[in-house]
Amino acid sequence: MDAALKHLERNHDRFLNLLLDYLKIPSISAQRKHDADSRRAAEFIRARLDEAGFETGFFEGKGLPTVHGARLVDTKKPTLVVYGHYDVQPPDPLDLWESPPFEPVIEDGEIRARGCADDKGPSLALVLAAACWGKDLPMNLRFVIEGEEESGGTVVYDYLKVHRRDLADAKAVAIADAPGIARGVPALCYGLRGIAAVEVTVKGPARDLHSGTYGGSVANPATALARLLATLHDAKGCVAVQGFHEGARPIDDVERKRLSKLPFDERAFLADTGSPALVGEEGFTTWERRTARPTVEINGIFGGYEGEGSKTIIPSRATAKLTCRLVPGQDPKRVQDAVARHLESHAPKGVRLEIARGHTAPAAYMDPETPWAKAARAALERAYGCPAALTREGGSIPVVSAFREAGLEPLLLGTYAPGEKAHSPNERYHVEDFLACIRAGIHFFGAPPA
Amino acid sequence: MDAALKHLERNHDRFLNLLLDYLKIPSISAQRKHDADSRRAAEFIRARLDEAGFETGFFEGKGLPTVHGARLVDTKKPTLVVYGHYDVQPPDPLDLWESPPFEPVIEDGEIRARGCADDKGPSLALVLAAACWGKDLPMNLRFVIEGEEESGGTVVYDYLKVHRRDLADAKAVAIADAPGIARGVPALCYGLRGIAAVEVTVKGPARDLHSGTYGGSVANPATALARLLATLHDAKGCVAVQGFHEGARPIDDVERKRLSKLPFDERAFLADTGSPALVGEEGFTTWERRTARPTVEINGIFGGYEGEGSKTIIPSRATAKLTCRLVPGQDPKRVQDAVARHLESHAPKGVRLEIARGHTAPAAYMDPETPWAKAARAALERAYGCPAALTREGGSIPVVSAFREAGLEPLLLGTYAPGEKAHSPNERYHVEDFLACIRAGIHFFGAPPA
């Protein structure tokens, strides 16, 4: 361990320069004109894996390659998969950047460049952590670094299917593609919400009707839809759909207490949304509402006239697109059924409903007390000098589900400060967090669970 | 009177042929390429007025001319204005027509052509009625036949402003541009609803937010809008806005009884709408709901994602376009204020409202027992062989308000069968109704109020 940490100290500047070189490559996976750049980024990270003694390769599919590398030191020792991505978000709008997005600079201890925090910094850090161990690496490592995370590509999923057997020796996957909970405080995220989409169309007259001639004598589908949607929540902001909460695992007192102690900056969060206030289900904190409580959200609503001025019609139809966010224990298909039943049974008179079920994904709960999770937390604590916060997140991360399906325990590591503007102009990454993430890797790779 | 009616009998076929010639002119005011046709139609109807001994002219403005004609037989006798329009709706969709829209045919006693019922037939009929009286016309007549009724033009309004003085000798205006109440049953419409437009936008976050990361912790503007709109009506379908009904003249028992006896075919009305059922405010009939009760209708609603599939966002805003239909006694501006106050006071927490007031027009109530109204009803009864039904309509007719403002009592005559498909393909007009409308004109012009 000491030798590895010393290696880091001696190579400090070299590692930082490597990151700056990596950040100069505009590997924007969403843009075909940058495909050659993206491949250069793939070659770059593959070269670092080569230098660290990995057997590397490209998995090619429909799109940009997934880089893989294996270093198997002893089949009797445990094996960890490390996931990351070498592609970045488009930098637009360019005029909001204070320095060019692909000309990295270091100022006030921060690196400024597209992709520094998401995810070139953290994923390179873990490759370099392996390099620090040299020939003494105490466990087996397999890196999977894809190139289409930011553009919704599927090459990595094909890789997981095709190479499922190769990964059979591994029990866990470290995913260092998330923020921590506060400046200098890393996190292990153990919960993600699932999703269930439902679309409802309220149909009334066969055509748009003149609201003067007919108004008052037939049901207005937009009014009917509004009245219907108003029944989805009760006065306390709780979802009021019978059967919706079936199976949902409650947040127990221990967890609530822990979540309440997270150093969560609610004022900064509110400012980030731009909403007039934070509101939600009565009896829950903001963090619980956005990560650990199920929701029904209207993603879109439309019907009738949208142009300038007014058009005096009763629209023939009105539609709402809904998605439910689900917590562990809820069955997405049963939630869709419950919502559909609720809508049907609350439909106002004089209209017909059309209900379409959309995509679903279950919530994920990853026990933070397993040997692998404890090992990851211990490594983060040693590297950052404070315990890793245990958190949940409100969204779904498709690659987490894919790894779970491949039989691996996902370890979702939050290694940089929140507010680093991933996906926004002026993305930044604290140099300290880069070094801490390398240290975290050194500690993690050096102390696998027994 | 007898001589005039005899004249009609003798000229029966000639008059019908005149109408067919008139219908051959595609005077589609909405389409510039038909401007020459529209002017031909104006010349055509002007020529008929010339033949009937009128002093005629074109009032030119920004668009198609308004034809005017005066025949002043004796300044001591009463003067009536007769309004009509020579333009027609576009005939699209053409492929739904069973015979070409501008090649009129007569089948089963019906004329089939665009504009036959709306309004070339009825307005020509009244010109011909004047012609039937020849030099013995018992009252003064002023015709105003505009060319932009179907396209929302303003030339006729300019005419009414500029020639206000010329019309000062007239006390009433006959407007034969409405259907009767049933086949063979004419109508006098004495009530029109007014209008008050209000647009409400619910604003939440500064940008569309990820519904996974933020869902549950901020108010969703689409949900807030739905909950807000759901408060506009009570469970009985009555508008639940405080102050909304202020001043609204109730429908008294005498009127309700009369309206209930109208030969209104509710099944045909329902079939026309294509709605699953007729529904509305509890305690009122369909006819009352659509003509004599005030409403709040959503004309359009929109916010967030409208495309295919789903986009998991909390929309930053959602908008509803509302129009209220008003009954006599309601003040449109006060109604807008009441709706705005209601929306503000029912706004859910965590959102801001933006409310914009749109156009307004008061309802119209035209006493059906005035001497002029009685004279019109008597003429209709003699011509059609049954009493004219006294009705109200649910829409607003701008020209009615304009004539009222010019100091004239509008007499809204329903002279053809409902269901003649004005504005739709295969518009038709019963030959019998054309002749009855000429007779009605003869009777009306022959028996002015004392």
Residue of chain B nearest A289, judged by CA positions = B216
The CATH superfamily of A2-191+364-446 is Zn peptidases (3.40.630.10)
Report which of A75, A73, A38, A74 is spatially closest to residue A58, judged by C-alpha positions.
A38
- Domain boundaries in chain B? 2-191+364-446, 195-248+294-361
- The tokens describing B417, both together, are 């069968």
Report ipTM (2 d.p.).
Answer: 0.89
Query: Which chain B residues are closer than 8 Å to A273 by Cβ?
Result: 205-206, 209, 214, 217-218
Report which of A359, A36, A23, A328 is spatially closest to residue A190, judged by C-alpha positions.
A328
Class of domain B195-248+294-361: alpha beta
Query: Which chain B residues are closer than 8 Å to A208 by Cβ?
Result: none
Length of chain A as a residue count: 450
B304 to chain A nearest CA, in Å?
A: 4
Res. A234: pLDDT tops 90? yes
pLDDT value of residue B285: 97
- The tokens describing A448, both together, are 């696998």
Note whether B303 contacts A: Cβ–Cβ < 8 A.
yes
Note whether B28 contacts A: Cβ–Cβ < 8 A.
no
Would you call A280 and B218 a contact, using CB atoms and an 8 Å cutoff? yes
Please tell me which residue, A92 or A98, carries the higher pLDDT value: A98
Distance CA A64, CA A38 (A): 7
Would you call B290 and A213 a contact, using CB atoms and an 8 Å cutoff? yes
Please check whether the domain covering A194-248+294-361 is classified as CATH 3.30.70.360. yes
Residue of chain B nearest A204, judged by CA positions = B275
pLDDT value of residue B151: 87
Query: Which chain A residues are closer than 8 Å to B353 by Cβ?
Result: none
Res. B419: pLDDT tops 90? no
Res. A421: pLDDT tops 80? no
The distance in angstroms from the start CA to the end CA of chain B is 17
Give the pLDDT confidence of B301-337 residue by residue, as tens digits: 999 999 988 888 999 999 999 999 999 999 999 999 9
Distance CA A104, CA A119 (A): 15
Query: Which chain A residues are closer than 8 Å to B318 by Cβ?
Result: 298, 301
Please tell me which residue, A219 or B207, carries the higher pLDDT value: A219
Q: From the list A211, A289, A300, which residue is nearest B297 (CB)?
A: A211
Would you call B217 and A325 a contact, using CB atoms and an 8 Å cutoff? no
Give the pLDDT confidence of B98-144 residue by residue, as tens digits: 999 999 999 999 999 999 999 999 999 999 999 999 999 999 999 99
B279 to chain A nearest CA, in Å?
A: 5
Would you call A222 and B318 a contact, using CB atoms and an 8 Å cutoff? no
Report which of B41, B32, B98 is spatially closest to residue B66, judged by C-alpha positions.
B41
Largest CA distance in chain A: 86
Give the pLDDT confidence of B274-305 residue by residue, as tens digits: 999 999 999 999 999 999 999 999 999 999 99
Cis amide bond preceding A449, omega within 30: no
* pTM score of the predicted model: 0.88
Distances (CA, A) of B40 to A284, A423, A446, B29: 74, 64, 95, 12
A380 pLDDT tier (thresholds 50, 70, 90)? very high
A398 pLDDT tier (thresholds 50, 70, 90)? confident
Residues in contact with B67: Cβ distance below 8 Å, sequence separation at least 6, in sequence order: B42, B45, B46, B49, B56, B57, B58, B59, B86, B143, B144, B145, B146, B147
Note whether A290 contacts B: Cβ–Cβ < 8 A.
yes
The answer to whether the CB of A81 falls within 8 A of the CB of A170 is yes
Mutate to test the interface with B, among A118, A189, A217, A336 (most CBs of B within 10 A): A217
pLDDT value of residue A450: 77
pLDDT value of residue A215: 97
Instruction: Write phi, then psi, for A404 (nearest 5 degrees).
Output: -60, -45
Give the pLDDT confidence of A287-324 residue by residue, as tens digits: 999 999 999 999 999 999 999 888 889 999 999 999 99
Residues in contact with B116: Cβ distance below 8 Å, sequence separation at least 6, in sequence order: B19, B23, B104, B420, B427, B428, B429
B38 to chain A nearest CA, in Å?
A: 26
Note whether B360 contacts A: Cβ–Cβ < 8 A.
no
Give the pLDDT confidence of B374-396 residue by residue, as tens digits: 999 999 999 999 999 999 999 88
Region B58-64 average pLDDT: 95
Amino acid at A187: A
pLDDT value of residue B397: 84
Give the pLDDT confidence of A246-275 residue by residue, as tens digits: 999 999 999 999 999 998 899 999 998 999
Burial (Cβ within 10 Å: 0-12, 13-18, ≥19) of residue B314: buried
B424 pLDDT tier (thresholds 50, 70, 90)? confident
Q: Say how many CB pairs under 8 Å bridge A and B.
A: 285
Would you call A315 and B299 a contact, using CB atoms and an 8 Å cutoff? yes
Res. A175: pLDDT tops 90? yes
Q: Catalogue the long-range contacts made by A257-266 (C-beta closer than 8 Å, 24 or more residues apart).
A: A258/A390, A259/A285, A259/A287, A259/A288, A259/A292, A259/A391, A259/A392, A260/A285, A260/A287, A262/A181, A262/A287, A262/A389, A262/A391, A263/A181, A263/A182, A263/A185, A263/A389, A264/A181, A264/A182, A265/A182
A114 to chain B nearest CA, in Å?
A: 21
Percent of chain A exceeding pLDDT 70 equals 100
Give the pLDDT confidence of A203-217 residue by residue, as tens digits: 999 989 999 999 999
Report which of B195, B79, B280 is spatially closest to residue A351, judged by C-alpha positions.
B280
Residue of chain A nearest B326, judged by CA positions = A212
The answer to whether the CB of A426 falls within 8 A of the CB of A117 is no
Q: From the list A204, A217, A349, which residue is nearest B286 (CB)?
A: A217
pLDDT value of residue A118: 93
Average confidence score pLDDT of chain B: 95
Note whether A210 contacts B: Cβ–Cβ < 8 A.
yes
Mutate to test the interface with B, among A200, A211, A239 (most CBs of B within 10 A): A211
Distance CA A306, CA B304 (A): 12
Distance CA B224, CA A302 (A): 14
A413 pLDDT tier (thresholds 50, 70, 90)? very high
Task: Tell me if domain A2-191+364-446 and domain A194-248+294-361 are identical in fold.
Answer: no
